[in-house]
Amino acid sequence: MTDTSVATPADVPQVLLTHHLKALKLPTFLREHEKLARQCASEGVDHVRYLFRLAELELIDRERRMVERRIREARFASVKSLDSFDFLALPSLNKALVLELARSEYVLRRENVIAVGNSGTGKTHVALGLGLAACQRGLSVGFTTAAALVHELIEARDEKRLLRLQRQMSAYKLLVIDELGYVPLSQTGAELLFEVFSQRYERGSTIVTSNLPFDEWTGVFASERLTGALLDRLTHHVHILEMNGDSYRLKQSKRRQRGAPVDNPSDN
């Protein structure tokens, strides 16, 4: 019997090429080179343009994979872009500023963003959209709620891995902390959260969303001294988004009662 698994001399270059492309981590080259070679041959394209097209495909695919990885690592509550945000429904929001922030240059300058307004006006949607934009520009992003972060910090302290978690929070180019003020913090939780803000001061950008005006943050941190020190750091280099208006969710509830079509919610 003939062993059909043995490569013939004609197969060797293809086998070695496959091996080399895998070793070089060029999956798009590996997947597309034969199909593109046939296409370029039929079009009379020379070898330089053939290689250019292959390299371009690899770069485009690598960029896509990088963005997908950044989005997974960010752990967004959901993936939302600013394209789907209804700016017309919230006249108080500075649309031009939001679109400028979407360029993510504030992250490179290590500036902060605070979105403040009553519940249901889209603060979370805007924060998610800005976080997604930063991911698309190759920046590392982390997303969490204030309550979840405090819980994680306390748990890490009890398990003696607080330093590692603090380093992780400090390493993000952009950290999004959603829903600050929805849940009052214990003294320990407030101090641990303050430490996160303090360690990121002028080292990384932070987006904070809150349903409370600044003069009510003392009720969350239960300390005028701590609140003052926190606001001093957060607002030193800051862009403030005022997002007061009618709640999207309340509007949708009324539409349901009337049997009218309901838009997708914009969250907090």
Contact 205, 111 (CB under 8 A): yes
Q: What is the pTM of this model?
A: 0.80
So what's the pLDDT on residue 265? 46
Contact 178, 144 (CB under 8 A): yes
So what's the pLDDT on residue 260? 54
Contact 125, 55 (CB under 8 A): no
Distance between CA atoms of residues 57 and 63, nearest Å:
10
So what's the pLDDT on residue 162? 97
So what's the pLDDT on residue 81? 95
Which phi and psi angles does 52 have, rounded to 5°?
Answer: -60, -45
* CA count, 13 A, side-chain hemisphere, 46: 1
So what's the pLDDT on residue 175? 98
So what's the pLDDT on residue 1? 44
Distance between CA atoms of residues 142 and 71, nearest Å:
9
DSSP code at position 6 = S
pLDDT along the chain (268 residues), means of 10: 54 74 79 84 85 84 90 95 93 95 98 94 96 96 97 97 97 97 90 95 96 91 90 93 75 58 54
DSSP code at position 84 = G
Distance between CA atoms of residues 2 and 24, nearest Å:
34
So what's the pLDDT on residue 267? 59
So what's the pLDDT on residue 27? 83
So what's the pLDDT on residue 9? 61
What CATH number belongs to 75-258? 3.40.50.300
DSSP code at position 75 = T
So what's the pLDDT on residue 183? 85
Domain boundaries, the chain: 12-68, 75-258
So what's the pLDDT on residue 257? 62
